[in-house]
């Protein structure tokens, strides 16, 4: 099996699914700090768009989080 870095996993996910959220990054890849990996990738020359998305936490309370995608 191919050993990928967290950043490589994020890029592959974005290529396959177009967007990623912190929850997806944590559940799918064990990445706790998605924003930090996005920052690392920006330094490598990748460009992203992000939007603020509303959702609910485990208590049913409204919350907001970032959803990232690769810029076109």
Per-residue pLDDT tens, the chain, 72 aa: give them.
679 999 999 999 999 999 999 999 999 999 999 999 999 999 999 999 999 999 999 999 999 999 999 997
**How far is Cα of residue 32 from the mean position of the Cα atoms in its chain?**
10
What CATH number labels 6-70? 1.10.10
pLDDT of residue 1: 65
Structure tokens of 16?
């396959």
For 23, the 3-state DSSP assignment is helix
What local confidence, expressed as pLDDT, does residue 7 receive?
Answer: 97
Q: Cα 30 to the chain's mean position, in Å?
A: 11
CA distance 6 to 31: 7
């Amino acid at each position: 099996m191919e050993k990928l870095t967290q950043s490589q996993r994020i890029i592959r996910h974005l290529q396959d699914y177009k967007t990623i959220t912190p929850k997806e990054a944590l559940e799918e890849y064990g990445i706790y700090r998605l924003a930090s990996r996005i920052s690392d990738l920006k330094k490598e020359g990748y460009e992203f768009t992000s939007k603020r998305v509303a959702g609910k936490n485990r208590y049913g309370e409204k919350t907001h989080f970032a959803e990232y995608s690769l810029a076109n």
